[in-house]
A and B are shown apart, each in its own frame.
Chain A
């Protein structure tokens, strides 16, 4: 280590002895059927040597042991607490192999390859670390993952920061509070929600649940959540409705629309390629091409047609024609004042 202060070296040294102690602690607790008390562990596992009669030394040991237990739990080691016999007053610890060990997952090579590809989806997103450590465990279980395999289409997954706290809350059935900003609102508003689940619909993330302030089912876009998602109250505070179809709640607002209307427009020849590929019929004439366009909503269609300016003229129906003319008038009026000759934008 080229470190003048020996900082990195000391980090490595501390980390090495600490790691060694923790590996031995795991092995020791896996091998015991009896619950071992802290004192018994200290007398057994190297690295916990101390003088229990020295108050300060003992306190230092207790702090160290607490930190180690916390680290094992954070790693997901199922540390059991109990007493070896009814006469024991002090709690003891052990790890049940059955709880510790990853169950056998008999993955076929193509299934293992699929898991490997799935784990890579997160490579740039929030769950990347969890996905790769999960995959490492499958490999450690003897599963070989072909790193070259592909499924022909690579999805790129991004998640919003609110994803992790909201999935955790939905899993724990815990009410959350968050600030929510919509583009047509001026300030974020506080929302209290009992989340049922998170939905990815067409590449965007939503949370669906019971909105406590509105007293109704609501879905929220994760990208519009401002700041932190805070859990409120206890886990298990509510039960989502049985057989709730999360997707349907989101799809209701952004699902496909039925284009039952038909509009006829006159398009200058060779122009408006975007409209042509969407047309149901094209009638070629001397003055241009007449396109028949399916539509759902007059204003949406009008906006689209106005985009093409003088290249497109609405023939029918009158309400679309009127909507287009109205929009054109407003656009001219608003831009006229800005584009007066010599005028500054």
Chain B
């Protein structure tokens, strides 16, 4: 056998050993469970499960006689462990398992808008106490957000009705009214989002909760068309596609931070302390506001129309300052500042 085959065998065997040591107590706790149900629960195929049971059947206490081996009774497609040979409990949690569960529960407890936070906190306390020292994870989580607003939105989504939202779209710098059919609420990178079918765009859209300036629940139920699928946000909320306009910026030291906050296609070292940054943008108008707002050390290299737009907008603004701003006039309007 080759070295890789040996390694593969070791890995397969380690995974399988963990599974088998779990399988006995799992079945012990569920006498007469259907094989299909157990397989589904354990994430294996029914065939795999049968092979696991066959293997366990020849394992047992030293002596390895009929009374020493793990035993089970089959009743059609149902199985019951009748002798466990001493593996009556699962193995305790490893350090990594305790860390993974405890930190995930802390994240959940900190996520603004989460329902039944109380259950999350109770579960956390119990897992921590069961894992003992292992749960002493040196990991702290805090996700500050406007949780009252997110909670209200989540509750509305759970009631399953269509929503009328007032939404600010940063890409176009406009506020619009839309009717949406909610799919789910998400928290990505510490920000809350509503994922919904947008009747106006006729597509699934992610709406940042802090940009939903107002919402009302409609009388009708949310109707999500069958073609509406939740988006894969594992690589981030904004995944620029290649058909979006590509812009190139020359970025000085003070503004290099943008490469950490915006997805960049390429970053190269330029002259002196400058970097050349390539980005895909949904909208050149957004790119114009973005570049103008960045500050003194960013220059557009391409496309030429963006160079010209940035120059022209800045020049027009300067011209406006050359004229006198009229004294304040008009009436005051109260503004609802959330």
Contact = CB atoms under 8 A, between A and B. Distances in A.
Given A137-B90, A153-B111, A345-B303, 11 more contacts: A18-B13, A19-B17, A67-B10, A71-B10, A76-B91, A101-B90, A111-B123, A152-B114, A274-B168, A280-B337, A285-B326
Interface of A: 7, 10-12, 14-16, 18-20, 22-24, 26-28, 30-31, 44-46, 67, 71, 74-78, 97, 99-108, 110-115, 117-119, 121-122, 124, 127-128, 130-142, 150-158, 167, 170-171, 183-184, 186, 195-204, 223-224, 246-247, 251, 256, 264, 266, 272-274, 276-277, 279-287, 289-290, 299, 303-304, 306-310, 312-313, 315, 321, 324-325, 327-332, 334-336, 338-339, 343-345
A107 B103 contact: no
A101 B86 CA distance: 11
Nearest to B230: A154
A153 B138 contact: no
A258 to B, nearest CB: 15
Contact of A75 (B91, B115, B120): B91
B85 to A, nearest CB: 5
Ranked nearest first, the 3 interchain pairs of A and B with the lowest CB-CB distance are A203-B190, A307-B293, A285-B330
A112 B123 contact: yes
Nearest to A199: B140
A100 B91 contact: yes
Contacts, number: 437
A30 B13 CA distance: 20
Contacts of B144: 202, 256
A331 B292 contact: yes
Given A103-B130, A154-B187, A200 B105 contact: no
A31 B61 contact: yes
B59 A20 contact: yes
Which of B234, B260, B301, B330 has the most A CB atoms < 10 Å from its CB? B330
Which of B1, B58, B87, B259 has the most A CB atoms < 10 Å from its CB? B87
A282 B97 contact: no
B256 interface: yes
Contacts of A117: 108
Nearest to B250: A334
Contacts of B136: 171
Contacts of A204: 189-190
Interface of B: 1-2, 5-6, 8-10, 12-14, 16-23, 25-26, 29-30, 41-43, 55-56, 58-62, 64, 85-101, 103-105, 107-108, 111-116, 119-120, 122-123, 126-127, 130, 136-144, 150, 154-155, 157-158, 168, 170, 173-175, 184-192, 213, 233-234, 253-254, 256-257, 259-260, 273, 288-290, 292-296, 299-304, 307-308, 310-311, 313-321, 325-326, 328-335, 337
Contacts of A12: 12
A137 B108 contact: no
A306 B120 contact: no
A239 B63 CA distance: 51
Contact of A130 (B29, B94, B328): B94
B310 A335 contact: yes
Contact of B317 (A119, A133, A273, A310): A310
B99 A274 contact: no
A126 B257 CA distance: 26
A185 to B, nearest CB: 9
Contacts of A31: 61-62, 85-86
Contacts of B105: 114-115, 118
B316 A309 contact: yes
Which of A10, A155, A157, A200 has the most B CB atoms < 10 Å from its CB? A155
Contacts of B188: 155-156, 203
Nearest to B258: A183
